[in-house]
Structure 1
């Protein structure tokens, strides 16, 4: 059954890719097997709806892939997983909730050291080290 699922997944992915390449006028660069499947798809479109022609072509590809992957006998029926249709994929922006301010009396209320004082202290340490090594 694992081979069957892989073959079905590969057939669906390959067909979607090949169909898109054909729409972009690049079908001549596809392998001969892909061109054959696309040609059979186009002939099926004259007799069936697009969905039916797509499924029939994918089933044909699935059978070929199943045999190619080492599946024995007739390929089992694999039911495709139908995804729920997406109705709305837009998320509305929401304003983030405000963070509560901390109380003005704890360690967070201490005044931070100015940048100039830190820079001056580092310069004094640097000069001190240079003088010590000389």
Structure 2
């Protein structure tokens, strides 16, 4: 048995044992048939996807970013200030 054939046999053995462990009944379906049916039933969009703004900003460094991140310390300080103001106004 060649190395390629032994790899194929090992993959099939692992696939069959996994199929049985996951509750599959009978013999495991062929790998080639499963791959062909998965691509045949896949839906494709007729229009291309829009790239997210983060990728656009990363792709063009000369353009200013649309949204800047706020440091966590600033958010924490604002939350503490709100809690202090709430307790002060509550009394």
Structure 1 and Structure 2 fold alike (TM over 0.5): no
Relative contact order higher in (CA < 8 Å, ≥ 6 apart): 1
TM-score by length of 1: 0.25
TM-score by length of 2: 0.34
Larger radius of gyration: 1
